[in-house]
Structure 1
Amino acid sequence: MTTLERAVRGGAVPWPELPPEAVGLLVAVGAPARLGAHLRAVFAVARDLTGWLEAAHPAVVFDREAVLFGAATHDIGKVLHPEELSVPGSRHEPAGERLLLERGVPAGLARFAGTHGSWHDPRAGVDDHLVSVADKVWKGHRVEDLEQLLVRRIADVSGIAVWEAFMSLDDRLQGLAVGADDRLAFQNGFPV
């Protein structure tokens, strides 16, 4: 088993493996193991978050499979901009979307690579916001204006007060943030 395969499939962690189609893409583009570990951590958070949203607020319509694919591939552009594995940057976003499109990924799925850091992008909807939130909270980071987009959506379609939607989402995100140190340690255990 290669280091990348251990990052996306193995290890003594309680997180789901990345979907085979995401693993295939990562292998094909020569992704570093740390990127695979990061995507697995975000994927695990997205899986939990979308499961919670389906159960707690069933009126919110979103494409869970698309969100999970987006979480599993959102940073693939860092293969082309490896410096952004260690320092902040956004050049990987359009590069990742192009890379996925070139690999035959439908535009509706490839877009997550481009929208995950730009939640005010006109293309960004609930699915994109879920990927963005997962990409922040996996390491315990909270972004108020991003979360408010989901809060308003939950409140609007569920017919509940904004404060109720906020409390509901906030409780779930606090619970997810608790595992941030373990996820960061897992990611940092793999080479760039």
Structure 2
Amino acid sequence: MLLERGFPSPAAELLRRLSASPRLVAHLRLVHDVAFRLTEWLAHAHPAVLFDREAVLFGAATHDIGKARVAEELSAPGSRHEQLGEQLLLAEGVSPRLARFAATHASWHADGVEMDDLLISLADKVWKAKRVPDLEQLVVDRLAVASAVEPWAAFMSLDDCLDRLAAGADERLAFQNAHPVS
């Protein structure tokens, strides 16, 4: 079932204050839901992997918040929303540790990216069944090391999870597209 998870109330309040469009709110709720399921799986399947689940869920719920000010990026490619989103969150009193996800969700390949950032990036891709091998490999590498398993075993585990998550993409896309951009 879509959106069966509770959306973080601080994120919902931020979106309300910034007059986020229905399409943006729908998108963020969908990515949050996938991140919820992804982190739930990770905590169970790879308990040795260190990540901040609450931070990941907040980041998933706000990663595109800059699109509240760059609405054209809701329906066309663009990256202006990334830095703007981080600035908006900081101006709203969100800690830099959490605000960074608005800027890092599309730069998962950059130096210094943490597992939390990778999980948000992964959720932001797989919600629509997009698979990004380079991103997935970064996650596999960290899973293998933290869980002390062979990389192929970490890959198989992650691949199974992502296949299950991707299976609901058509329903999620239809849900998002049922909401107006403005």
Q: TM-score range by the shorter chain?
A: over 0.9
Cα-to-partner distance string for 1:10-37 (whole Å, 9 max, x where unaligned): xx84532321100000000000000000
Normalising by structure 2, we get a TM-score of 0.97
Tell me the number of residue pairs that the alignment of Structure 1 and Structure 2 aligns: 181
Sequence identity percentage: 61
Equivalent-residue separation in structure 1 for 2:128 and 2:167 (angstroms): 9
Equivalent-residue separation in structure 2 for 1:70 and 1:148 (angstroms): 21
Choose from 120, 136, 154 the match for 1:165.
154
Which residue of structure 2 lines up, in the alignment, with residue 178 of structure 1? 167
Equivalent-residue separation in structure 1 for 2:133 and 2:86 (angstroms): 26
Matched, 1:104 2:93: yes
Equivalent-residue separation in structure 1 for 2:90 and 2:112 (angstroms): 16
User: Which secondary structure state, in structure 1, belongs to the residue aligned with residue 83 of structure 2?
Assistant: helix
Superposition map of 1:1-192 within 5 A? 13-192=2-181
Equivalent-residue separation in structure 2 for 1:24 and 1:104 (angstroms): 12
Q: Which runs of 4+ in 1 moved over 6 A?
A: none
Equivalent-residue separation in structure 1 for 2:147 and 2:137 (angstroms): 15
TM-superposed deviation, 1:157: 1.0
Equivalent-residue separation in structure 1 for 2:76 and 2:139 (angstroms): 28
Q: Contact 2:3 / 2:30 at 8 angstroms: preserved in 1?
A: no
Equivalent-residue separation in structure 1 for 2:3 and 2:58 (angstroms): 19
Cα-to-partner distance string for 1:18-76 (whole Å, 9 max, x where unaligned): 21100000000000000000000000000000000000000100000000000000000
Cα root mean square deviation, aligned: 1.0
Which stretches in structure 1 are left out of the alignment for 5+ residues?
Answer: 1-11
Normalising by structure 1, we get a TM-score of 0.92
1:169/1:106 CA distance change after superposition, 3 Å: same
Equivalent-residue separation in structure 2 for 1:134 and 1:13 (angstroms): 15
Equivalent-residue separation in structure 2 for 1:179 and 1:94 (angstroms): 30
Equivalent-residue separation in structure 2 for 1:114 and 1:102 (angstroms): 14
User: Which secondary structure state, in structure 2, belongs to the residue aligned with residue 109 of structure 1?
Assistant: helix
Q: Contact 1:115 / 1:123 at 8 angstroms: preserved in 2?
A: no
